[in-house]
Amino acid sequence: MAHRVLVAEARLSPWRFFGWAMYCTPKLPVEIELTAVHDGARRALLPEELPPAVRQAVDRLADRRGVWGTFASADRLGTRLLASQPDAEAIEVGITHWYLDAATARIGTQRYAYTYRRE
């Protein structure tokens, strides 16, 4: 039962941690959207604009969020993005988890948004 609660509430992977939820859930993606804020205007950061090390950090975060759910923090990526975008006053990291809604048996999404500002 604890595994089911962690899968539902923290978006932990039902395919990990010795739970039985994996037998009734497809493996679904985690998507990450990056936005830079310049003088109040928001602009999407495309993967090809990012340095290779930052692109790898984005991929690692997507993998970690796919396993650990909300227990995997986006803070390290936010800090790296701020360093790679010196003109940005803030960076927004949007993370969308796809999941199987047990109540409706439909695929749903839940989005989490994190903002990192310069000090």
pLDDT attached to residue 26: 72
Domain assignment of residue 4, yes or no: no
* 30 contacts 62 by C-beta, under 8 angstroms: yes
pLDDT attached to residue 106: 87
pLDDT < 70 positions in the chain: 1-12, 15-25
Task: Provide the domain limits for residue 67.
Answer: 27-117
Domain assignment of residue 78, yes or no: yes
- What is the count of structural domains for the chain? 1
Instruction: Flag whether the pTM goes above 0.75.
Output: yes
Domain assignment of residue 6, yes or no: no
pLDDT attached to residue 75: 97
Domain assignment of residue 19, yes or no: no
Domain assignment of residue 110, yes or no: yes
pLDDT attached to residue 5: 63
Mapping DSSP onto H, E and C, the string for 39-105 reads: CCEEEECCHHHCCHHHHHHHHHHHHHHHHHHHHCCCHHHHHHHHHHCCCCCEEEEEEEEEEEECCCC
Q: Which of 19, 97, 111 is nearest to 63 (CA)?
A: 97
